[in-house]
Amino acid sequence: MDSKPSFQVSRRSFIRRASAAAAATGLPLWFVEQEIARAAEPAATVKSPNERPLIALIGCGGMGTGDARDSLRFADVVAVCDVDQNHVDRAVKNFTKDGKVPEAFTDFRKLLERSDIHAVINGTPDHWHSLINIGAAKAKKDIYSEKPLTLTIDEGKQVVKAVRENKVVLQTGTQQRSSQRFRMACELVRNGRIGKLKEVNVWLPAGLRGGPFSAKPVPGHLNWDYWQGPAEAHEYMPERCHTTFRNWFDYSGGTMTDWGAHHMDIGYWAVGLPAPIHIESKALATPIPGGYTTFSEYEVKFTYENGIVFNVRTTADDSPFGAVINPAGQRNGIRFEGTDGWIWVNRDKIEANDRELIAKPLPDDAQRLYFSNDHKGNFFECMRTRKDPICDVEVGHRSASVCHLGAISLRTGKKLQWDPEKELFTGEHAAEANSHVAREMRKPYDYSFVS
């Protein structure tokens, strides 16, 4: 007699919760109900001091600091490292808690010698990601690494090897895979909701086009040589460092590897294949001599073995693409186009040419993707279980590789052929393109630096 009313109250409570979540997110009720059921209990904050791992932050700029702050739900920051003393001092202040002051380092290798550190957050610029991740793996530390995972394709192979050989957990910071909207879009596409997938259209924000820039004295708080690390040495320019480093091929790949690491990862997740086999591109604006070296506006076309076309375009303020693909005018996102319709998704919304494509529930036997609704929570949970996280090292490597292929096509200006298994270019222009698959690291900041 008591069980039935109890069930009814529980069911009503469940429906109210799901309905409120659906209204707040714009997601269909069937999907929200499924999400609540799948996440019977969201990633829990670790409360017991004995259960909280000790972590270190390497790269204490804005992104790294944000990652570390988010991690305080699960762990304690006991060490910080940066080659900019101002960043170190600020991080020490930010993560001092209850009188416990994190130890400060300017050489990450010294930090990795601490045996009590369980994991590191790698928030450094892109050109340092690989060496630090390899060093951390060899020191048996789990790793949360900012995206893109690497600066080159060959580095990805080296990072995968180090992570797997040392049996550590690595989560790539492509957090959109832990977003309900993006996972839902990919599940709908994978299950044929828009028919046979024909195209994935990705719009990225345009990058910076500036210069020429002049050399300036190196600030006293910055170790400029160490900051450049494995990259070619240059005179100091503020535009080469910190917030604008992504606009130089020495350190990054422009918006292709910045926002591209997010949206192209989602496209790759939906397609479900290792890599495209043909790449061609067109630069819509060329770099200014003496200025930023990456391309600010471009179009890149990737073709997969099964015929799916993956288009990537930038959207400058005067571009028509934003208005064409999204009435709300967002400047970046992904549109999956199939034989029976299209689905558009970005961080704000998911839409379709026919709302029924989204509103209709998937069948019980539909293909489901890795479930995560909390990217940091997923990382710390995998530290406990030793399972692979949603964006493990292979995912990070393969997603970054697609971005690098686009950047290489732009740099060479050639139509290229790619072998996903050998991870090398083939055919015409292969020699020129393969020269960008790896880079010559400046000594002493090569692989021996973390051996």
Q: Is the pLDDT of residue 324 over 50?
A: no
Q: For position 32, what pLDDT does the model report?
A: 81
CA-based end-to-end distance of the chain: 69
User: 193 vs 241, 337, 348, 356, 398, CA distance in Å?
Assistant: 45, 11, 21, 10, 25
Listed range (12-16, 308-312, 357-361) with the worst mean pLDDT: 12-16
Listed range (26-30, 246-250, 434-438) with the worst mean pLDDT: 26-30
Q: Is the pLDDT of residue 122 over 70?
A: yes
User: 122 vs 59, 136, 144, 173, CA distance in Å?
Assistant: 6, 9, 6, 10
DSSP string, 351-418: EESSTHHHHSPPPTT---PPP-S-HHHHHHHHHHH----TT-HHHHHHHHHHHHHHHHHHHHTS-EEE
More confident residue, 345 or 30: 345
pLDDT tens for 363-419 read 999 999 999 999 999 999 999 999 999 999 999 999 999 999 999 999 999 999 999
Beta carbons of 304 and 310 less than 8 angstroms apart: yes
Report phi then psi at 445, rounded to 5: -90, 50
User: What predicted TM-score, i.e. pTM, was given to this entire model?
Assistant: 0.91
Overall average pLDDT of the 191-200 stretch: 97
**H/E segment holding residue 105:** strand 103-105
Q: For position 320, what pLDDT does the model report?
A: 40
Structural domain boundaries of the chain? 3-38, 180-212+227-369+398-438
SS (H, E, C) 137-166: HHCCCEEEECCCCCCCHHHHHHHHHHHHHC
Q: For position 46, what pLDDT does the model report?
A: 55
Determine the Cα–Cα distance for residues 4 and 425; give it in Å rounded to an integer.
65
pLDDT tens for 128-173 read 999 999 999 999 999 999 999 999 999 999 999 999 999 999 999 9
Q: Is the pLDDT of residue 29 over 90?
A: no
Tell the CATH topology of 180-212+227-369+398-438: Dihydrodipicolinate Reductase; domain 2 (3.30.360)
Overall average pLDDT of the 344-369 stretch: 95
- 389 preceded by cis ω (within 30°)? no
Per the listing, tokens 């699960």 go with: 74
Confidence of residue 30 (pLDDT cuts 50, 70, 90): confident
pLDDT tens for 256-305 read 999 999 999 999 999 987 789 999 999 999 999 999 999 999 999 999 99
Q: For position 47, what pLDDT does the model report?
A: 55
Q: Is the pLDDT of residue 217 over 80?
A: yes
More confident residue, 42 or 421: 421
- The three-state secondary structure class of 15 is helix
Q: For position 323, what pLDDT does the model report?
A: 36
Find the angle CA(410)-CA(264)-CA(339) to the nearest 5 degrees.
105
Q: For position 321, what pLDDT does the model report?
A: 39
Q: Which of 291, 294, 272 is nearest to 283 (CA)?
A: 294
More confident residue, 241 or 43: 241
Q: Which amino acid is at 56?
A: A
Average model confidence (pLDDT) for the chain? 91
Confidence of residue 327 (pLDDT cuts 50, 70, 90): very low
Confidence of residue 12 (pLDDT cuts 50, 70, 90): low
Q: Is the pLDDT of residue 251 over 90?
A: yes
Q: Which residues pair with 77 in a beta bridge?
A: 55
Positive or negative, the CA dihedral 82, 84, 89, 93 is negative
Beta carbons of 53 and 75 less than 8 angstroms apart: yes
Q: For position 328, what pLDDT does the model report?
A: 42
> 255: number of CA atoms within 13 Å, CB side?
22
